[in-house]
């Protein structure tokens, strides 16, 4: 009878659990695969997000679209009409968006934006973070439904503030008292229920 030695270091991986503990599990196990998909990164809390929005004077929307059916168009419209931010649209394939000049990249903007709001797929987030670092931006805000934990951790390691999987329009409206249940700005701040 022969015995075989298995190099366990190559077949296990250490995973970080949400409670802060870590453990080693077989790398190809269903548990390891599940734990890799869990979101353990936490961005700024509500108070910190409010602070980001209050301090900002300019926002660049990367992945802005001239198509009114796209969410970036809707968010751009809201920011132009319901905020005092200087809003820049970044799209190398557009000349103008919402009546404003569209820029091919962050480096082409007339100023360093306080917030880089990202409407790009998750795999594009690391390159947007690199571009934000290169121009000196301080905050990258990744829109609702987009998650790239490795990119968020990388951005934070480079000194950026990262907000991820949150809509800047919804957050702004919520903090400013004009958010309807469906996410539309009501234009009213009241605690009274509407009588129909």
* Whether residue 30 is found in the same domain as residue 98: no
Low-confidence ranges of the chain (pLDDT < 70): 1-10, 15-22, 32-38, 177-196
Q: How far is CA 87 from CA 105, 118, 151, 178, 186, in A?
A: 14, 13, 24, 20, 22
* pLDDT value, residue 191: 45
Q: What is the pLDDT of residue 66?
A: 96
Distance CA 17, CA 85 (A): 39
Residue 123 has what pLDDT? 94
> Within this chain, do residues 105 and 30 fall inside the same structural domain, yes or no?
no
Quote the domain boundaries for residue 27: 8-37
pLDDT for 196: 42
Name the domain count of the chain.
2
Q: Is the same domain home to 19 and 99?
A: no
Helix (H, G, I), strand (E, B) or coil at 174: helix
Q: Provide Rg for the chain, Cα atoms.
A: 21
What is the distance of C-alpha 20 from the center of its chain? 24
Distance from C-alpha of 119 to C-alpha of 131, rounded to nearest angstrom: 14
16 and 87 assigned to the same domain: no
Shared domain check, 73 and 31: no
Whether residues 26 and 120 fall in one domain = no
pTM assigned to the model: 0.73
pLDDT value for 23: 72
Nearest Cα neighbor of 151 from 171, 177, 132, 173 is 132
Are residues 60 and 147 both part of a single domain? yes
Same domain, 108 and 167: yes
């Amino acid at each position: 009878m022969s015995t075989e030695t298995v190099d366990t270091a190559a077949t296990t991986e250490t995973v970080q659990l949400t409670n802060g503990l870590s453990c080693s599990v077989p790398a190809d196990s269903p548990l390891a695969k599940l734990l890799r998909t869990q979101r353990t990164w936490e961005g700024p809390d509500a108070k910190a997000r409010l602070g980001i929005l209050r301090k900002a004077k300019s926002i660049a929307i990367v992945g802005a679209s001239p198509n009114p059916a796209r969410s970036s168009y809707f968010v751009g419209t809201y920011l132009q009409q319901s905020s005092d931010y200087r809003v820049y649209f970044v799209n190398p394939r557009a000349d103008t968006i919402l009546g404003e000049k569209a820029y091919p990249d962050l480096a082409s903007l007339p100023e360093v934006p306080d917030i880089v709001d990202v409407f790009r797929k998750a795999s594009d987030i690391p390159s947007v973070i690199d571009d934000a670092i290169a121009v000196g931006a301080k905050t990258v805000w990744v829109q609702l439904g987009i998650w790239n934990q490795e990119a968020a951790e990388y951005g934070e390691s480079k000194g950026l503030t990262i907000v991820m999987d949150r809509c800047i329009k919804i957050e702004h409206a919520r903090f400013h008292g004009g958010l309807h249940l469906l996410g539309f700005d009501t234009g009213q701040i009241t605690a009274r229920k509407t009588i129909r």
